[in-house]
Structure 1
Amino acid sequence: MSESMEAKLAQAMAELTAVQEAVVRAEGELGEASATIRSRDRAVEVTVGPQGELTALKFPDNKYLNMTGPQLASSVMEALQEGRSRMARRVIEVFEPLTRASGGASGIRGIDIDWGRAFGSALDDPAGGRRRSTSRLHDEIHEDTD
């Protein structure tokens, strides 16, 4: 193996190690992350963990006592969807730097993550009902620098 190939291999291994360490740091940062959200009517408060799981449900000030079942269900679902959406955006924010190419001599590309597939409806915009642009075609067109 030539020195140049050995140097490229060493560079690629160093970049791989750096990416692995960045993933471990990101996972550690998100491991304890949560989002606490109140519904617009302030009747429900939810806490959502990093995987979008419901970790706490509260009914502040007992406002739910004056609500119908469908109203309460709607408040719970609204707060839960917003909490899941916030956590999904936080996860994307933390991992997004790893999706870019390293820029190193090895030419290692960034990790290809389909955020829509990973988070599904959690990325729906509750206000407009539209999903963030996550299509692979859009990403490929955006990344094409030729």
Structure 2
Amino acid sequence: MTEPIEQRIAKAMAELESVKAAVARAEEQLADAGATVRSRDRSVEVTVGSRGELTGLKFLDGKYRSMNPAQLSASVLEAAERGRAQMARQVMDLFDPLTRPSTATPELRGMTVDWERIYGSALLDEAEGEPVRRPGDRLRDEIHEDAEDGHRGRSRS
């Protein structure tokens, strides 16, 4: 027997209120969030806010005195990018549960967030310089490749 529409609507409304509260909690957590990262050469420490903004910069152990301007700026930029990447991952992890489909209400399919559009270069993996992989990326990549190859919906054989 199917559930009456009134009950389904009530469930969906309750779930939407729950999601709304979860978003508010996540935003509250992010209000004071930050990532503090040191450059690989340990000459610079930066703090990055939840929106990727640089909120702190420290030169460590006087190492900057022996660096030329290009080296120092490279260290600052490298630390800032690593901090932005770390903060982007924190934000994505925090909001990930909100992007998933509802198990209780099939009509609520979850939301799609274009993290790359939001964070751009901040989504580079620290060690490899490769894009950070998220669940579902492989499928999106295959769909994108099919569209580029002109296969739009046809299987490859």
Pick the TM interval, shorter chain. Answer: 0.7 to 0.9
**TM-score, reference length from structure 2:** 0.82
- What is the alpha-carbon distance in structure 2 between the residues aligned to residue 136 and residue 81 of structure 1? 22
2:74 partner letter: S
> Which sections of structure 1, spanning at least 5 residues, go unmatched?
142-146
How much does 1:140 deviate? 9.3
Equivalent position of 2:105 in the other structure:
105
Q: Is the 8 A contact 1:98 1:111 kept in 2?
A: yes
Select between 98-107 and 44-53 the one with higher mean Cα deviation.
98-107
Question: Residues 139 and 7 of structure 1: is their aligned pair in 2 closer, same or farther, counting only changes over 3 Å?
Answer: farther
- What is the alpha-carbon distance in structure 2 between the residues aligned to residue 83 and residue 53 of structure 1? 9
- What is the alpha-carbon distance in structure 2 between the residues aligned to residue 80 and residue 50 of structure 1? 13
How much does 1:34 deviate? 0.5
Runs of 4+ in 1 over 6 A off after TM superposition: none
- What is the alpha-carbon distance in structure 1 between the residues aligned to residue 123 and residue 117 of structure 2? 10
How much does 1:126 deviate? 3.1
Equivalent position of 2:36 in the other structure:
36
How much does 1:63 deviate? 1.1
Q: Is the 8 A contact 1:38 1:46 kept in 2?
A: yes
Does 2:27 align with 1:27? yes
The structure that is helix-richer by fraction is 1
How many residues of Structure 1 are paired with residues of Structure 2 in the alignment?
Answer: 139
Equivalent position of 1:7 in the other structure:
7
**TM-score, reference length from structure 1:** 0.87
2:101 is paired with a residue of what secondary structure? coil
- What is the alpha-carbon distance in structure 2 between the residues aligned to residue 102 and residue 88 of structure 1? 24
- What is the alpha-carbon distance in structure 2 between the residues aligned to residue 137 and residue 48 of structure 1? 29
> Which sections of structure 2, spanning at least 5 residues, go unmatched?
143-157
Equivalent position of 2:139 in the other structure:
138
- What is the alpha-carbon distance in structure 2 between the residues aligned to residue 14 and residue 139 of structure 1? 31
